[in-house]
Copies of this chain bind each other. A is one copy, B any other.
């Protein structure tokens, strides 16, 4: 049931031993002081330790809307999209899950959205029954569960502001900055490079725009010198202050 340290290690640089000795009352005390933030990779590890690794090919479905909600997943590598579909085909991507993120939380019996692999990805699959049964006796796990689903809530809340009140330029700018924060690499001359795992259509469905508007906006930002697009899936953030102005 437990997974190899080599797999877990990809989530973050915290060594597996770090959670080998659960504390008496878990992490709740630190949470009370607001001290859990500096250690944000830990909850993923605590949960991942209870599951088994699985891999999914690009564009394959991890689970579908309305399926029985049996598992929770932690991303080890790759990118996952969480989607909601409307009857007529309109799609909203609620989140892109990157390494260290968890998804598939439910209180009811069925998933309320589908999850698909944006790129080839490795996940840890944890049985919900195992997770919740243990949470009843293991405060550290209970805290980890709360922290992980709370992280989702925070992202969702930021996203609400974006979808409700931001312009197309602001949406794209915020998106690029968020990706940079979560997965970008910055070089010596302060240029951040991003590899976009997702298509323009994915970006559009995440940002509440059309594919054409996303494309036009990226072109515009490049004309302004704010970003460069060496290829359609690679972005260089040249002027972060201009992007931050858009992020507001």
Contact = CB atoms under 8 A, between A and B. Distances in A.
A238 interface: no
A217 to B, nearest CB: 16
A90 B165 contact: yes
A107 B31 contact: yes
A37 to B, nearest CB: 5
Contact of A136 (B29, B84, B113, B248): B29
B163 A32 contact: no
Contacts of A109: 34
Given A34-B108, A107-B34, A156-B156, A84 B161 contact: yes
A187 interface: no
Give the oligomeric copy count: 2
Interface string A101-112: 000011111001
Nearest to A128: B32
The A interface, classified by DSSP as helix, strand, loop or mixed, is helix
Nearest to A136: B25
Nearest to A134: B28
A133 interface: yes
Interface residues of A, number: 59
Given A34-B107, A112-B154, A142-B142, A160 B161 contact: no
Interface stretch (A44-52, A145-153, A175-183, A190-198): A145-153
27 contacts: A24-B136, A25-B136, A25-B137, A26-B136, A28-B132, A28-B133, A31-B107, A32-B128, A32-B129, A34-B69, A34-B109, A84-B157, A84-B160, A86-B161, A92-B165, A94-B160, A105-B153, A107-B151, A137-B139, A139-B139, A139-B142, A149-B149, A152-B153, A156-B157, A156-B160, A160-B163, A165-B208
